Chains A and B, each alone.
Chain A
Amino acid sequence: MLEIKNLHATVGGKGILKGLDLKVGAGEVHAIMGPNGSGKSTLSYVLSGRDGYDVTEGEVLYQGKNLLDMEPEARAGAGVFLAFQYPVEIPGVPNTTFLREAVNAVRKFRGEPTLDPMAFLKLLRIKIKELGITDDLIKRAVNVGFSGGEKKRNEILQMALLDPALAILDETDSGLDIDALKTVADGVNALRAPDRSVLVITHYQRLLDYIVPDHVHVLAHGRIVRSGGKELAQELEKTGYAAFTGQAA
Chain B
Amino acid sequence: MSQMPATAENILERFAPGAALADAPALPWLEDLRAGARQRFAAAGLPTPRLESWKYTNLRPLEKLEFAPWAQEQVSIDRLPSLLPQGQSTQRLVFVNGRFREDLSALGALPDGVRAGSLADALAKDKSGALADTLGRIAGEDGNQPMLDLNTAMMSDGFLLHLEAGVRLEWPIEVIYLGAAPRGPQAFHPRSLMVLEEDSRAIVVEHHDGIGGNAGGAYFANHACEIRVGADAQLRHYKVQAEDTAAIHLSNLHAEVRGGGLYDAFTLTRGARLSRCEASVALAAPGAECHLNGIYMLRGEQHCDNTTRIDHLAPETASREVFKGVLDERARGVFQGKVVVHQDAQKSDGHQLSKVLLLSDTAEMDAKPELEIYADDVKCSHGATAGDMDPEALFYLRARGIPEETARHMLIEAFLSDTINGLAAEGLCPALLSSVGHWLSDAADGGAS
Please, which residues of chain B bring their CB within 8 A of the CB of A72?
395, 398-399
Partner of B414, one of A92, A158, A162: A92
Question: Is A88 among interface residues, defined by CB-CB distance under 8 A?
Answer: yes
CB distance from B363 to the nearest CB of A (A): 21
Does the CB pair B399–A92 fall under 8 Å? no
Name B418's closest neighbour in chain A (CB-CB): A92
Q: Which of A49, A90, A141 has the most CB of B within 10 A?
A: A90
Residues of A in contact (CB 8 Å), total 29
Please, which residues of chain A bring their CB within 8 A of the CB of B403?
73, 105
- The segment from A76-84, A174-182, A218-226, A234-242 found at the interface with B is A76-84
Please, which residues of chain A bring their CB within 8 A of the CB of B411?
90, 93
CB distance from A150 to the nearest CB of B (A): 16
CB distance from A116 to the nearest CB of B (A): 17
CB distance from A67 to the nearest CB of B (A): 13
| Contact A91-B401, Cβ < 8 Å, known A50-B395, A51-B391 | no
Please, which residues of chain B bring their CB within 8 A of the CB of A93?
410-411, 413-414
| CB within 8 Å of A: which B398-416 residues | 398-404, 406-407, 410-411, 413-416
CB distance from B196 to the nearest CB of A (A): 33
Question: Is A101 among interface residues, defined by CB-CB distance under 8 A?
Answer: yes
Name A101's closest neighbour in chain B (CB-CB): B402
Does the CB pair A158–B398 fall under 8 Å? no
Does the CB pair B399–A76 fall under 8 Å? yes
Please, which residues of chain A bring their CB within 8 A of the CB of B417?
92
Tell me the bound Cα distance from A51 to B394 in angstroms: 11
Does the CB pair A101–B414 fall under 8 Å? no
Please, which residues of chain B bring their CB within 8 A of the CB of A73?
398-404, 407
Please, which residues of chain B bring their CB within 8 A of the CB of A158?
400
Question: Is A4 among interface residues, defined by CB-CB distance under 8 A?
Answer: no
Question: Is A71 among interface residues, defined by CB-CB distance under 8 A?
Answer: yes
Partner of B400, one of A49, A51, A92, A105: A105
CB contacts between A and B, total, < 8 Å: 78
Does the CB pair A105–B402 fall under 8 Å? yes
Question: Is A109 among interface residues, defined by CB-CB distance under 8 A?
Answer: yes
Does the CB pair A102–B395 fall under 8 Å? no
Name A77's closest neighbour in chain B (CB-CB): B401
Partner of A91, one of B398, B402, B406, B418: B418
Partner of B396, one of A51, A87, A106, A109: A87
CB distance from B432 to the nearest CB of A (A): 14
- The digit string for A91-135, where 1 denotes a CB below 8 A from any CB of B, is 111000110011001100100000000000000000000000000
Please, which residues of chain A bring their CB within 8 A of the CB of B390?
88
Does the CB pair A102–B400 fall under 8 Å? yes
Residues of B in contact (CB 8 Å), total 24
Tell me the bound Cα distance from A54 to B400 in angstroms: 21
Question: Is B424 among interface residues, defined by CB-CB distance under 8 A?
Answer: no
CB distance from B225 to the nearest CB of A (A): 31
Question: Is B397 among interface residues, defined by CB-CB distance under 8 A?
Answer: yes
Tell me the bound Cα distance from A72 to B411 in angstroms: 17
Does the CB pair A51–B410 fall under 8 Å? no
Please, which residues of chain A bring their CB within 8 A of the CB of B393?
88-90
Question: Is A183 among interface residues, defined by CB-CB distance under 8 A?
Answer: no
Does the CB pair B418–A76 fall under 8 Å? no
| CB within 8 Å of A: which B286-308 residues | none
- The digit string for B370-409, where 1 denotes a CB below 8 A from any CB of A, is 0000000000000000000011110111111111101100
Question: Is A42 among interface residues, defined by CB-CB distance under 8 A?
Answer: no
Please, which residues of chain A bring their CB within 8 A of the CB of B406?
101, 105
Does the CB pair A51–B402 fall under 8 Å? no
Name A50's closest neighbour in chain B (CB-CB): B395
Does the CB pair A76–B396 fall under 8 Å? no
Question: Is A48 among interface residues, defined by CB-CB distance under 8 A?
Answer: yes
Name B419's closest neighbour in chain A (CB-CB): A92
Name B421's closest neighbour in chain A (CB-CB): A92
Please, which residues of chain A bring their CB within 8 A of the CB of B404?
71, 73
Tell me the bound Cα distance from A50 to B402 in angstroms: 14
| Contact A48-B413, Cβ < 8 Å, known A91-B418, A101-B406 | no
Please, which residues of chain B bring their CB within 8 A of the CB of A71?
398, 404
CB distance from B410 to the nearest CB of A (A): 6
Does the CB pair B400–A76 fall under 8 Å? yes
CB distance from A78 to the nearest CB of B (A): 9
Does the CB pair A49–B418 fall under 8 Å? no
Does the CB pair A51–B395 fall under 8 Å? yes
Does the CB pair B399–A101 fall under 8 Å? no
A-B contacts, 30 listed (Cβ < 8 Å): A49-B398, A50-B399, A72-B395, A73-B401, A73-B402, A73-B403, A73-B404, A73-B407, A76-B399, A76-B400, A82-B399, A84-B396, A84-B399, A88-B390, A90-B393, A90-B396, A90-B397, A90-B411, A92-B416, A93-B410, A101-B397, A101-B402, A101-B406, A102-B397, A102-B400, A102-B401, A105-B400, A105-B402, A109-B401, A162-B401
Which 4 residue pairs across A and B have the least CB separation, nearest first? A92-B414, A76-B401, A102-B400, A106-B401
If A88-B395, A101-B400 are given as contacts, then 6 extra A-B residue pairs at C-beta distance below 8 Å, sorted by A number, are A76-B400, A82-B399, A88-B390, A88-B392, A92-B414, A97-B410
